[in-house]
Amino acid sequence: MTRNRVPTEAFIITFDTGDGNAFRRPRGGDGYPPYDIERLPPQKGTERLRVTLAVAGFAENELDVSVEANQLVIRGKQTEREEADYLFRGIASRQFQRVFAIEDGMEVTGASLRNGLLAIEIIRHDPVHLVRKINISTAE
């Protein structure tokens, strides 16, 4: 089994993997938080993907998942917890934003947070092929 390193931030998610460029990165990032993208078995003929981000330490109300102009945007902002008197602080409170461009016809159907992993489900509906009759007018 070969492991392909997936680019870090703002890349295109597509189901078309024929040319090996299913995940193309327009710009770089710092790699936080780490994530996986997996192809799930089709369900009722619908193709499915899952994007999973490792967001340990974030509460549900500190995360935001939205779709803006064909982009899946995931933001996280931890609130500062000042009640503790730290002897050593190695776990930083930080914020992040991950942006994934999604192709036309893809729909984000839901997100769940379990055991520090944020899983986002994406489906692609079968394309609708429209046939439109164009009338031909005669010039007089």
Which residues, at least 6 apart from 13, have a Cβ–Cβ distance to it below 8 Å?
22, 23, 37, 49, 51, 72, 100, 101, 102, 103, 106, 122
Mean predicted lDDT score pLDDT of the chain: 80
What are the pLDDT digits (tens) for 49-95?
A: 999 999 998 999 999 999 998 899 999 998 877 777 888 878 777 89
0.75 exceeded by pTM: no
Q: How far is it, in rounded angstroms, from Cα 121 to Cα 140?
A: 57
Residue 15 has a pLDDT of: 56
Residue 138 has a pLDDT of: 84
- Which whole number is the average pLDDT over 117-132? 85
- Which whole number is the average pLDDT over 123-135? 80
What are the pLDDT digits (tens) for 18-33?
A: 544 444 444 445 688 9
Partners of 140 in beta bridges: none
Mean pLDDT is lowest, of 27-41, 55-69, 96-110, for 27-41
Which is nearest to 23 in space by CA: 31, 15, 12? 12
